[in-house]
A = this chain, B = another copy of it.
Amino acid sequence: MNTQALLQTATEPQLVSERDMANAIRALAMDAVQKANSGHPGMPMGMADVATVLFNRFIKLDPLHPQWPDRDRFVLSAGHGSMLQYALHYLIGYPDMPAEELQRFRQLGARTAGHPEYGHAQGIETTTGPLGQGIATAVGMALAERLMRERFGAEIVDHFTYAIAGDGCLQEGISHEAIDLAGHLGLSRLIVLWDNNSISIDGPTSLSTSMDQLARFRAAGFDVWDIDGHDFEAIADAIGQARETDRPSLIACRTIIGKGAPNLQGTEKTHGAPLGDAEIAAARAAIGWPHAAFEVPEAIVETWRNVARRGADQRRDWCARLAASPDMGVFKSAVAKELPETLFEELDAFRREHLEKATKVATRKASEMVLGVINKATALTVGGSADLTHSNLTLTSGMGSISARDFSGRYVHYGIREHAMAAAMNGIALHGGFIPFGGTFLAFADYARGAIRLSALMGQQVIYVMTHDSIGLGEDGPTHQPVEHLAMLRATPGIDVYRPADIIETAECWELALKHRNRPSVLVLSRQNLPMLRLAHGKENRSSRGAYVLRETAGPRAATLIATGSEVEIACAAADILRAQHGIAAAVVSMPCWELFEKQMPAYRRSILAAAPRVAIEAAARQGWDRWIGENGDFIGMNGFGASAPAADLYRHFGITPEAVVERVRKLID
C-alpha cells in the first residue's frame, strides 16, 4: 500500500486535523507530568507532530493483537519522552492503556513507568532510557525482520522499524556502532526520526557538539532528510520516501522542544520538569485546547482509533496470507522459538561421546563443538562475534555470513562493536524468530555493559559467548584479562553466568542457556585447554543445580574445595595431593552457575557446601565468594590486575596453583 492510500484510509472524513491529534499528545504529556510532578514534557510536545504523522498515516499495528509478528516496530529511543508513547497508546486504543493509566504516570505499579519498560504495557517493543540503546536495538529488530523476510518471503514478513532518537542517542558512542552496522547491511526498513531540537539537559547542544549529523549518517550509508518537524506534509513526504529507498534512513526533524508552551518552549526548561500550572494554562490557550486535564474530545479519540482499524484490516489480510502459506507451521514455530527435542537428545549423545573420549579442549573450543550440534539441529540460532570469530569460536560450518547482498546466512560479523552487538542481539530477541548469540572477550563485557543490563532487565534470551576468561589468556596482559567481570555479571540481577570446567559442563551450560527462555546467559569460557573431569555419564544435567560435588571423599570431609571453570582442574589436583601426601579428605565442588545454585533448596546447598572448612579457587576477584566460603573459609584468586606473560607463568606468579591450595587447606584445618 503506498503512502497516498494510507493517507486516505486514515484521514477521511477529515473533520479532525492532524494538528488536533498532535495537540492531544501535547496536552496529555503536560498534564501527566504535572500530575506526577515528575517527568519530561519537552520531547512529547516537540515530537507530537512527527509522531502523529507516523502513526496516523503509516504505522502498521493492531492494539488488540500487540504480538502480531508482522507489526511495525516502534522504538522510542529517547525514552525519557515516555509520555509520547503512553499518549499514543491511549489514543490508538491499546486495551491496557486507559486514561487512568496516564493519570498514574510514574507511580508504583503503573504501566506508565518513568521510561518505557518492556513488559509493563503492550506495544512497548523495548525498554529505553539509557540513551542510544533504542536506536541500536532497533538495528537488531530491522536485521531480524530482514532475515525473517529472507526465510519466509514478503507476503508474511513485511514491516518497518521506526525509531525516534534524541540528541543524546546520537551523541552516545553506541549510535556510531549501530548506524555503521545498519548502513553496512543496508537495512532499508530502518527509519530513524531524529528529534533535532538543538537542546540537551545542560542547555543548547552547541555547548557540547558541532557534529554535522546529516553528513555523519550519510557517511554510514544512510539516506537522509532534513525537514521541519512541525510541517505535517514534509514529515509525510520524508517518511514516504524513506520507506522506498534501499538504504536505512535518517529523517532529521527540526523541532521546538516543548512546542506549545508559549514561555518555555525551545529551552531546556521543558526537558525534564513539569511546566507548572500557569504555563500549562498558557499552553492550552496557545494551542487552542480548552479541554480539562486528561480530557480528549471524542472526535479526536475516534480519529486516532482509525489507526487501530487500519491495523486490524492489515492484520486480517496477513492472517489470510499466512493461512495460505505452506510455511505457516515453520513460521509459527520460529515465532514461538520452539527448539526440537532431538536437539537435546543430540546434546546428551554429545556428552556421552566426549565423556568416553575424555576430550581435552579449551571450553571455547568445546563451545564451538556444542554449537556445531545446536546449529545443525535448529535454524533459530543467529550467531556472531565482535570481530573475534576465530578466537571466540562462534562460527560453525554452514552458517553463512550475512551481508547486504545475502541474508540467507546466520552469522553476523558485528565488527569491533561490542555494545551495538549486545543491543542488536536484544533487538533480534525482542523481534522474535531467533535466538541470538554473540562473542567477545570477557574483559570487553565492559564495553557492552549498557546493553547487557537491558538484556537482563527485559528478560530476553540473549546468549553471550565470552571467551579468554582469566589470566589464562596469557600474554595479552591486564587490559585483556578479566578480574572483576565475573563479579560484575553475577551482581547483575536476572542474568545467568556460566563458567564451565570442561567439555561436559560446557554442553550442559549451553543446554541450560537454550532452555532458559526468559533470561540472558553468559557463557564464560577458557582460552586454554582443560581436561575432561566428569567421572560418569548420567542423563541428569549436573550443572543445572548450579553446583555439585565433582569429587566426593571416601570418608567424612575434612575440607571442601569450591571452584569454577579452569580452576576446577587445580582443585582436583589439590585434592589429590591432600589425600596422597597429607591424608586429608577434601571434596571438590564444581560451581558453574551461582545463580542456579542460589535457587536450590537450603538442604541441597548445605549438602554440597558441607560443614568442613572451605577454600574457593577462582582466577578472579574475591567479591561475592565470602557468601560460599563463610567466615572461616579462604579464597585463592586475584587480588589485583593481571599481567602479561605466558599463562602458566601467571598462574604461578599469582599463586593460583594446587600447591597453594594445599597450603591454605592445611592452615585452615590445623
- In the complex, how many residues of chain A place their beta carbon closer than 8 angstroms to a beta carbon of chain B? 109
The reply to whether B115 and A476 contact each other, CB–CB distance below 8 Å, is yes
A174, CB-defined interface residue at 8 Å: yes
Please encode chain A, from 40 to 61, with 1 for each CB lying within 8 Å of some chain B CB and 0 for all others.
Answer: 0000000000000000000000
Residue of A117, A444, A475, A631 contacting most chain B CB atoms (<10 Å): A475
Q: Check A163 for interface membership: any CB of B closer than 8 A.
A: no
A171: which B residues are within 8 A, CB to CB?
A: 177, 180, 387, 415-417
Interface residues of A in 154-207 (CB under 8 A from B): 167-168, 171-177, 180-181, 183-184, 200-202, 207
Contact with B along A503-528 (1 / 0, CB 8 A): 00000000000000000000000000
Which of A109, A127, A413, A650 gathers the greatest number of chain B CB atoms within 10 Å?
A413
Assuming the contacts A106-B475, A173-B177, asked whether A210 and B216 have C-beta atoms less than 8 A apart, the reply is no
Closest residue of chain B to A107 (Cβ to Cβ) is B645
Residues of B within 8 A of A457 (CB): 478-479, 641
> Chain B residues near A181 (CB, 8 Å)?
208-209
Question: Which residue, of A128, A172, A622, A627, has the highest number of chain B Cβ atoms within 10 A?
Answer: A172
Query: Can you name 30 A-B residue pairings with CB atoms under 8 Å?
Result: A36-B475, A39-B475, A106-B646, A110-B644, A114-B477, A117-B479, A129-B479, A129-B480, A130-B444, A131-B416, A172-B173, A176-B176, A201-B390, A208-B413, A208-B415, A208-B417, A209-B415, A210-B221, A210-B404, A446-B450, A447-B449, A447-B450, A454-B479, A456-B641, A457-B478, A491-B624, A492-B621, A494-B641, A623-B624, A630-B631
Q: State the number of copies, please.
A: 2
Confirm or deny: A360 has a beta carbon within 8 angstroms of a beta carbon on chain B.
Answer: no
Q: In the complex, what's the smallest C-beta–C-beta distance from A202 to chain B, in angstroms?
A: 5
Query: For the complex, is A391 an interface residue (Cβ under 8 Å from B)?
Result: yes
Q: A653 — which chain B residues lie within 8 A by C-beta?
A: 108
B202 near A413 with CB under 8 A, answer yes
- Which A459-512 residues sit within 8 Å CB-CB of chain B? 474-480, 483-484, 487-488, 490-494
Most chain B beta carbons < 10 A, residue from A478, A643, A646: A478
Q: Would you call B491 and A623 a contact (CB within 8 A)? A: yes
Chain B positions within 8 Å of A117 at CB level: 477-479, 644
Contact B650 A108 (CB under 8 A): yes
A95 at the interface (CB under 8 A from B): no
Q: Are B108 and A479 in contact (CB under 8 A)?
A: no
List A residues 612-645 near B (Cβ within 8 Å): 621-624, 626-627, 630-631, 638-641, 643-645
Q: How far is the CB of A319 from chain B (nearest CB, A)?
A: 35
In the complex, which of the residues B128, B475, B623 contacts A487, with contact meaning CB atoms closer than 8 Å? Answer: B623
Q: Give bound CA distance, A526 to B132, whole Å.
A: 25
Which residues of the other chain, B, contact A263 by a CB distance below 8 angstroms?
Answer: none
Q: Given contact pairs A171-B416, A173-B176, A626-B626, enumerate 17 new A-B contacts (beta carbons under 8 Å).
A: A106-B645, A107-B644, A108-B650, A114-B475, A114-B644, A115-B477, A129-B476, A201-B387, A202-B387, A207-B401, A207-B403, A210-B221, A211-B220, A216-B216, A447-B449, A454-B479, A483-B493
